[in-house]
Structure 1
Amino acid sequence: MRTLIHPSAVIHPDAQIHPTVEVGPYATIAAQVKVGPGTKIGAHVVLDGQTEIGAANRIYPGAAIGLEPQDLKYDGAPSLTKIGDGNTIREYVTINRATGEGEVTAIGNDNLLMAYVHVAHNCRIADRVVIANNVALAGHVQIEDRAVLGGVLGIHQFVHIGRLAMIGGMSRVDRDVPPYMLVEGNPCRVRSLNLVGLKRAALTREDHQLLKKAFRILYRSGDTLQHALEQLDLLPENEYVAHLQRFLVASLGEGRRGPTSGSKGSRS
């Protein structure tokens, strides 16, 4: 099985590499790295720090994972990078480890990070997220399941991006992005429901209708956000509306960025 490792690769003897892992030419793997079965590591990839990578990932040439955070507060404390299973990490993606001792930069399962994506310290990406080329995530960004980020985006630190949200390319994201919404612009604004994403997620007709009503209450009624959130309580009980409501309430809390606002051109 050692033939799966190119002879030019530099792998520390203490690294824990499953026998089925493939390692390409000139890849470098540090002592505290763990890599699970079936993962493929391309040429010139660098895996550093306390980094754990699960099964069946594909890491393309030039990616750098687990290096020190680009954070002036970092004092060399041991921190972690954790990556789940089935992820595709394309060329020259950079994923920095967390800043504080014992803290984690975490990526879940079945995500696609296209070329030149940067994931900064303490970010958390859930499952089945798609991030297009040249997207930069600042520190402490959180992304929920099945969000889609268009290319050439900048995401402000501490921003939260909700489940099944879609962000149009070349937008500036400096506020939390509510679940199920399509946002775009500089700065970005909520434009509509992410109807394509909701269709792909196989929501029921009733779910669609209730989310449309919630959208109109939040972004077309002219009410303050606080009053609109109260009006959502009058809708029939629904898990998607409830998640949207919880997300927005949390976004208004102390220490949060606050939610992205709507636009006069919003449509449902």
Structure 2
Amino acid sequence: MRIHPTAIIEHGAQIHETVAVGPYSIIERGAEIGAETVIDSCVRITGRTRLGCRNRVHHGVVLGGDPQDLGFTPERAKPLRIGDDNCFREHVTVNAGLKSDTGTRVGNGNYLMAYAHVGHDCVVGDHNIFANAATLAGHVELEHHVFLSGLVAVHQFCRVGAYVMVGGVSGVRQDIPPFLLAFGDHARILGLNIVGLRRHGFTAAQRGQIKAVYRTIFRGGLRLAEALAEVEAGYPTDETRHIIRFIESSRRGIASLAPTRSQRTEQE
């Protein structure tokens, strides 16, 4: 174990022998740190935190801090559980849970750039990227392979589906279904996240089917239940079933389509 002499490791913290801890960092009793994790300087890891293996925690990060909720009291705190192979860049904050028994959860292989924030009781899947200052309010759910651009803010209880990209300085106030590109101060859907889907190996045929599914849902002139039934029958793929499950389980509603160029011209 490589522990800088200025670091404070409270008795009762469980730290694997291969962990490195930099100067002036504080790890509280009760914290668990997995193998080959590297913790830089001035990091604070509270006793509510369970951190997996091979994580990289840069300068000034706070993991498991108090939820930013006016109703919080220390005895109500729930854990923060983090998987393996994540990277937390400078001054990232990930709060402990408050209202759900499972607390705040972060999966594997996520990359959070400087000043990103994950609020209490969020569920973050695997291989997501948070650009600088991307922010999740409480109870947000991110699936996997999501890209949040810089200064994106996601409203509490919203969900963002797999392979979604949200453009910079956007405010997400409703759910963004899988495979889509969204943008705007009240983020609207622009179309498929084509670049992201290509990068992750989706074929032209798969992308075409996903596009057809969304065309039926958003532009088919059908009631939502009718549209979902039609795409389930017409495009019986894993991607279609994923889209249907996501939409049917939405509590905040689905973000709307951005107007087309011709619609914008008519509005003007």
Quick check: TM above 0.5?
yes
RMSD over aligned Cα, in angstroms?
1.6
Select between 66-75 and 190-199 the one with higher mean Cα deviation: 66-75
1:76-87 paired onto structure 2 within 5 Å? 76=74, 77-87=76-86
- 1:39 equivalent among 37, 40, 44: 37
Residues 1:70 and 2:65 are matched in the alignment: no
- AA at the equivalent of 2:151: V
Select between 227-236 and 204-213 the one with higher mean Cα deviation: 227-236
Residues 1:30 and 2:25 are matched in the alignment: no
Assess if the C-alpha contact under 8 Å between 1:45 and 1:63 holds in 2. Answer: yes
- Aligned equivalents of 1:236, 1:221: Cα separation in 2: 15
TM-score (norm 1): 0.93
Which deviations, in whole Å up to 9, do the C-alpha atoms of 1:205-247 show, x marking residues without a partner? 3322210111211233344434322321231310001101110
Select between 27-36 and 205-214 the one with higher mean Cα deviation: 205-214
SS in 2 for 1:233: helix
Partner of 1:17: 15
In the alignment, structure 1 segments of 5+ residues that lack a partner are none
1:195-234 paired onto structure 2 within 5 Å? 195-234=194-233
Assess if the C-alpha contact under 8 Å between 1:210 and 1:235 holds in 2. Answer: no
TM-score (norm 2): 0.93
Report the alpha carbon displacement of residue 101 of structure 1 after superposing the two structures with TM.
7.1
Which deviations, in whole Å up to 9, do the C-alpha atoms of 1:60-94 show, x marking residues without a partner? 00000111111122232241001100000000000
Partner of 1:163: 162
Which deviations, in whole Å up to 9, do the C-alpha atoms of 1:160-217 show, x marking residues without a partner? 1001111011111000011000000121111010111111121233322210111211
Assess if the C-alpha contact under 8 Å between 1:44 and 1:61 holds in 2. Answer: yes
1:1-268 paired onto structure 2 within 5 Å? 1=1, 4-76=2-74, 77-100=76-99, 102-251=101-250, 256-265=251-260
- AA at the equivalent of 2:15: I
Select between 214-223 and 29-38 the one with higher mean Cα deviation: 214-223
Assess if the C-alpha contact under 8 Å between 2:53 and 2:83 holds in 1. Answer: yes
Report the alpha carbon displacement of residue 135 of structure 1 after superposing the two structures with TM.
1.2
Select between 228-237 and 160-169 the one with higher mean Cα deviation: 228-237
- Aligned equivalents of 1:257, 1:38: Cα separation in 2: 40
Identity across the alignment (%): 39
- Aligned equivalents of 1:57, 1:199: Cα separation in 2: 28
In the alignment, structure 2 segments of 5+ residues that lack a partner are 262-268
Select between 223-232 and 188-197 the one with higher mean Cα deviation: 223-232
- Aligned equivalents of 1:135, 1:33: Cα separation in 2: 26
